[in-house]
Amino acid sequence: MESGSSFIAKTAFFNGHNYPIWSVKMKAYLRAFNLWKVVETDQQPPPLRQNPTLAQIKQHTEEVTKRYKALTCIHFAVTDEIFDRIMRCETAKEAWDLLKVEFQGDSKGIQMQVLNLKREFAILRMNESETVKEFSDKIMKIVNRIRLLGDEELSDKRVVEKVLVSLPEKFEHKISSLEDSKDLSKIPLTELINSLQAVEQRKALRSQSNVEGALLATEKAEYTSHRFQQFLQQHGIHHQLTIPYTPQQNGVSERKNRSILNMARCLLFEKNLPKNFWAEAVYTAVHLQNRLPTKAIEGTTPFEAWSGNKPVVDHLKVFGCICYVFIPDEKRGKLDERANTCVFIGYSLQSKGYRVFNLKTQKIEVCRSAKFDESAAWDWEKSQVTNSDQVAKLHDKPELEVDFDDAANESDLIDDAPVRGTRTLEDIYSRCTLSTVEPSNYYEATNSDAWRAAMKEELKMIEKNDTWTLQDMKLSDCCWLLQHTEAGVSSILMSNQHF
């Protein structure tokens, strides 16, 4: 400010944000030029005595000038928008108090700000991915803002306690060592932060050296994707890799991979599926092996050992076989096909259904209602179904009729038209029940040898069973009941009492 001074400082600039910080910088700036007392007290300089000396006149002039210098410093330390609010102020104290009330508030407003900052301080915690420096900067920012608002109750001891209780589990061993070696109630905040940063740096160096060695030795190894590494770090798993081209170092895993790959290869070859279904084949192989017995756990399966429940295998189908997936009523018309021809490619992990490849849309779908033709396969070159049992059954049974309403309910979803045939007259006559006229009276029946033999047989049975007692009676007191049966003709002698 003064021409004879070699001290040069840049004025803090206020744009309406972070008033507490600007006020601290501005106070220091005004103190550097002996102007803060004028802003704080706004005291008028004493009048000159009579017959003043040159030194007294110069001193009085400087005291008067300080008032305008202080106001000028405040004017040049704010933006034009802020200057519009204080341009009517004639003294530096008036301008300073106006800015303080508007951007910091009165006593009640300051008290509410302090309360909110203390609440934020209480719930603050250090994240696992956060460094010590980032956390310390965050907590000290809140502490300094509280202190700038005039609350001096937040001591360094309380800040140290907050840091100790907010640290994650990975610093637990360091806290234990500090408890054994020092009094935590008297340890300075800077010393605590430095100790935690030293632990963090050692872990970072150790982790960096391990990763560099692993990448150097296993540049083309498996299980080194970024996503897999993140998964291991989140679950606290230490990842060790083998040397390239030495599968014997991890024999169990490599042998299991070989078994899965062999099964997946067989699944693809069985139905001549393209190689782009390799992922589905591998997943199906794992699904099957988890439900098969193994020597590692005798008498049970991996699925049962893990879940405690016996696996259900009635849903298993031949991988790559043809299946006919039912189309819901909402997605088809009355005369449209009721099923889509698909290729079975596995089991859904998210829902209780089958994963199928729709040959029409060339997309993978998940379905529940499907009819499987496990002997059939899809010819990818000719685009047709081969080795189908359903087609053979239709040729063997030309009279087969398909009820699609019952098929939809029972998951019988083969989308084939009903086959109707013809029958010979001989076949029709053999299925008919022919009616024969029976005799109308006794005399007509006696003229037939068959009816006479039937009447004799009836009389023999009556005598044998001693059914009736024979007496002399008129012929009109009884009658013969003559009728055809499946075995032939029959007759029954009945008394008039039965009628």
Using CA atoms, how far apart are residues 56 and 261, in angstroms rounded to an integer?
102
User: Which pLDDT value is given to residue 478?
Assistant: 64
Q: Are residues 51 and 30 in the same domain?
A: yes
Q: Write the DSSP assignment of 397-424 as a string of letters.
A: -TT----HHHHHHTT-------------
Residues 297 and 281 in one domain: yes
The CA distance from 157 to 138, in Å, is 17
Low-confidence stretches of the chain (pLDDT < 50) are 1-6, 209-221, 399-402, 404, 407-408, 410-417, 496-499
Burial of 377 (0-12, 13-18, 19+ CB in 10 A): buried
Q: Which range marks the domain in which residue 43 is found? A: 19-104
Q: Does some domain include residue 460?
A: yes
Q: Are residues 308 and 392 in the same domain?
A: yes
CA–CA distance, 158 with 184 (Å, rounded to integer) = 11
In a domain, 417, yes or no: no
Residues 279 and 405 in one domain: yes
Does 493 reside within a domain? yes
For the record, the structure tokens of 435 come out as 């009616």
Instruction: For residue 415, tell me if it sits in a domain.
Output: no
The confidence score (pLDDT) of residue 395 equals 53
Give the model's pLDDT for residue 211. 46
Pick from 243, 336, 319: nearest CA to 282: 319
Are both 69 and 191 inside the same structural domain? no
Question: Would 468 be classed as within a structural domain?
Answer: yes
Number of domains in the chain: 4
Its pTM stands at 0.37
- How many residues make up the chain in this entry? 499
> Is 220 contained in some domain?
no
Residue 452, pLDDT score:
84
Last residue of a domain, one of 75, 104, 133: 104
Are 299 and 403 part of one and the same domain? yes
> Is residue 48 domain-shared with residue 154, that is, in the same domain?
no
Residue 212 domain-assigned (yes or no): no
Residues 271, 366: Cα–Cα separation, whole Å: 20
Residues 458, 468: Cα–Cα separation, whole Å:
12
For residue 233, give both structure tokens: 């770090």
Considering 41, 73, 104, which residue would you say is the last residue of a domain?
Answer: 104
How many other CB atoms are found less than 10 A from the CB of residue 355?
20
Residue 402 tokens, joined: 């398909």
Whether residue 451 is contained in a domain is answered as: yes
**What is d(CA 15, CA 83) in angstroms, rounded to the nearest whole number?**
10
**Exposure pattern of 93-111 as b/e (b: 16+ CB <10 Å)?**
bebbeebeeebbeeeeebe
DSSP β-bridge partners for residue 482: 491
Task: Give the pLDDT of residue 207.
Answer: 61
Question: Do 35 and 74 fall within a single domain?
Answer: yes
Q: Are residues 375 and 328 in the same domain?
A: yes
Question: Among residues 388, 409, 430, which one ends one of the domains?
Answer: 409
Considering the domain architecture, whether residues 68 and 133 belong to the same structural domain is answered as no
CA 190, CA 156: separation in Å to the nearest integer? Answer: 10
Residues 479 and 397 in one domain: no
One domain for residues 98 and 29: yes
Amino acid 413: pLDDT: 47
